[in-house]
Structure 1
Amino acid sequence: MTRTVNAETLALAKQWEGFRATAYPDPGSRDGTPWTIGYGQTVIAGRAVRKGDTIKEPEAERLLIMRLRETAAKVEALIKVPVTDNQFGALVLFADNVGMGGQKPGFSNSTLLKKLNAGDYAAVPAQLARWNKNDGKVMDGLVNRRAAEAGLWAKGAFVSTSTVDATAQAPKWATPETIAAGGGLLTGAAGIASGNGPVQWALGVVFVIAALVIAFTFVSKRVNPK
């Protein structure tokens, strides 16, 4: 079954594409092409968008979902390593924006894909940031979009660095529970031992041993959880 993008990815696509009911020229190209409409749609009804075309929002959303589904299938076929839903969504948004590649630079022939498939997950945000130009000019909109894609990529994921490993710390043994348990038993032992006679002293020793055994068991479970 083809992997689809999650709701967060769709929401981000709508946010960055922005809905336009009337066709408009590409602001970053020299000749204004391609004309775009809806949520970044350059093709409607099987033809290129033309000046004067209009569209309603529900239809624009339907076309966006179809486009992302097609892009998701292509991206899924190219990546060779496991990725989270948010990471997958970020890749789909990126590929949808820059194109799949082939004769022109795009996702399929990008350094980003090569590094990712080599297992270098940490390289992805920086590689995304490189794609910030249109016709050789840095575009603020693309800079911000790449940052949003990098944010989605990193969301909910733990990334190890050269100095920090992705491992959890063992809990400290000195917890309120151990202190309370040991303190209660030792108090009871002291109370019994304060009496006179061999029976009281024997019971006091028993309480002390019990306190030590409970504390040792509790600490062992905390330091070496199963």
Structure 2
Amino acid sequence: MTNPRKPIFDALRIALGGKLGADDVTIMDNTLDRLGVPKETILQLSATGEALIKKWEGYKKDLGDGRVQSYPDPATGGAPWTIGNGLTGPDIVKGTIWTHAKAAQRFTQHIEDEAAPAVRKGIGTAATTQAQFDAMVSLAYNIGVGAFLSSTLLKKHVAGDYAAAASQFAVWNKAGGKVKQGLIDRRADEAKLYRGQA
């Protein structure tokens, strides 16, 4: 979550010589309430973030008739079986066929129920731009939420060391124990977005 009021309070603090009393905070909060400025904003994946994920998790095995079929994991040549935009799960096995609509619904569900909440949980109250959030959701979507939540990248982000966090994307360049050019390129795209350069 981000606090859209923080920059306002920071500016007021500077204007008042570095201090805000409890009465000042109450007056400002009441004023901002009347103006409709939210106290916190829950970050969601933006269209830019979704486009980045879909760029790298493109439809494979599109049957051309509004359906997609499962395919073996590109890194292992087998399990986990994958479908649509890189979706995996116990109900996705060899021969699974879904409509485009079902694949799109499951993509959105995976983002909203797993990847985005994991990133929000991990960053806590750390200052986070939309671009940083999108890049981290893309990473979590690809490497899994458990790996993301225990990552050095997340620790560096929470500590406010954004340069070090950005450099950590490149660490996640292996699949099946082997460096993959596709992952090198994807991580470069994610780091670029994280830095606000996309």
Q: TM-score, normalised by structure 1?
A: 0.62
Tell me how far apart the structure 1 counterparts of residues 88 and 42 of structure 2 sit (CA, whole Å): 24
1:11 corresponds to 2:57: no
Aligned to 2:132: 87
Matches within 5 A, 1:138-149: 138-149=179-190
Q: Is the 8 A contact 1:19 1:57 kept in 2?
A: no
Tell me how far apart the structure 1 counterparts of residues 132 and 100 of structure 2 sit (CA, whole Å): 27
Letter in 2 for 1:37: I
Report the secondary structure of 1:34's partner residue. coil
1:67 corresponds to 2:110: yes
Tell me how far apart the structure 2 counterparts of residues 17 and 127 of structure 1 sit (CA, whole Å): 21
Tell me how far apart the structure 2 counterparts of residues 156 and 34 of structure 1 sit (CA, whole Å): 33
Tell me how far apart the structure 2 counterparts of residues 63 and 98 of structure 1 sit (CA, whole Å): 17
Measured after TM superposition, the shift of residue 96 of structure 1 is 1.1
State the percentage of identical aligned residues: 43
Q: Deviations over 1:30-58 (max 9, x none)?
A: x6110000111113xxx331111112222
Letter in 1 for 2:104: E
Unaligned runs of 5+ in 1: 158-226
Structure number with higher relative contact order (C-alpha < 8 Å, ≥ 6 residues apart): 2
Report the secondary structure of 2:70's partner residue. strand
Aligned residues: 149
Tell me how far apart the structure 1 counterparts of residues 117 and 184 of structure 2 sit (CA, whole Å): 26
Tell me how far apart the structure 1 counterparts of residues 154 and 129 of structure 2 sit (CA, whole Å): 15
Q: Is the 8 A contact 1:10 1:65 kept in 2?
A: no
Matches within 5 A, 1:158-197: none
Q: Deviations over 1:5-45 (max 9, x none)?
A: 1011111111110013111011212x6110000111113xx
Tell me how far apart the structure 1 counterparts of residues 156 and 164 of structure 2 sit (CA, whole Å): 7
1:134 corresponds to 2:175: yes
The alignment yields a C-alpha RMSD, in angstroms, of: 1.7
Aligned to 1:32: 78
Q: TM-score, normalised by structure 2?
A: 0.70
Aligned to 2:94: 51
Unaligned runs of 5+ in 2: 1-40, 61-67
Q: Is the 8 A contact 2:43 2:130 kept in 1?
A: no
Aligned to 1:120: 161
Q: Is the 8 A contact 2:152 2:165 kept in 1?
A: no
Tell me how far apart the structure 2 counterparts of residues 77 and 51 of structure 1 sit (CA, whole Å): 33
Would you identify which runs of 4 or more consecutive aligned residues in structure 1 move more than 3 Å? none
Tell me how far apart the structure 2 counterparts of residues 27 and 77 of structure 1 sit (CA, whole Å): 29
Tell me how far apart the structure 2 counterparts of residues 2 and 49 of structure 1 sit (CA, whole Å): 31
Measured after TM superposition, the shift of residue 2 of structure 1 is 4.5
